[in-house]
Structure 1
């Protein structure tokens, strides 16, 4: 990690995940997704707390996600506005932390980090 990003290395990271667009592969579980995201972030030098919020318009088992430390938001037709509002609120609640995406990086659900 570059020195310009080092002040953010221990900041809390928020991951906002659209389950309808990026579903869990059949061979993975919410717990393995959580672990893979944490591992990919660690490889990038981010060691702070990770909060993952998953959004879907379909019925999903909240218990399976919550036991994996993923907050499931089953918001039906209101998914997209809720998704945007939660990202906005994250920025308000975490004003001193880096807010944004991984830029030119992509983390697939199996934990591989790819430069795109």
Structure 2
């Protein structure tokens, strides 16, 4: 099974610090905090990854009900709108995108999943990428209350 790991200052060891990062964010389960707009949360995510030692390219995929959200058009983010309640279609698209992204990005690459829950199918693919393609895997989930996630690196050591 997949465990959520701490997102820490050494989250990108060795060659992973310059490899590709694929960030797959389920916005319906990990919402943008009220005090931040969409551009600010993207900047905070990118800064957190950079502050954690990563110097390579980051691809960001966002899934969920995007009604009322305004992501900057120049942010390089792939947006996937799913009306509230369309969980199966959203999870299927996320799985397809992870598989397609992994086909284009050899090791050392990092798969980052930001989601409240991971489907069995996505967990299986993530674990295969970790074991068969030597991917680095980072899972981030929201705290139980409230359901929002803000990536803030810590100075404590984390595991792989």
Fold agreement, TM-score > 0.5: yes
RMSD between aligned residues = 3.0
Q: Distance in 2 between matches of 1:102 and 1:20?
A: 19
Q: Is the 8 Å Cα contact of residues 12 and 50 (structure 1) preserved in structure 2?
A: yes
Q: Is the 8 Å Cα contact of residues 91 and 99 (structure 1) preserved in structure 2?
A: no
Partner of 1:88: 99
Partner of 2:76: 69
Q: Distance in 2 between matches of 1:30 and 1:53?
A: 13
Deviations 1:9-66 (A, max 9, x none): 112211100011011111112211111111111222101121111001x242575353
Q: Is the 8 Å Cα contact of residues 17 and 55 (structure 2) preserved in structure 1?
A: yes
Partner of 2:49: 41
Partner of 1:102: 138
Partner of 1:11: 19
Residue aligned with 1:102, SS: strand
Partner of 2:62: 54
Aligned residues: 113
Q: Is the 8 Å Cα contact of residues 75 and 82 (structure 1) preserved in structure 2?
A: no
Q: 4-13 vs 31-40, which deviates more?
A: 4-13
Q: Is the 8 Å Cα contact of residues 53 and 72 (structure 1) preserved in structure 2?
A: yes
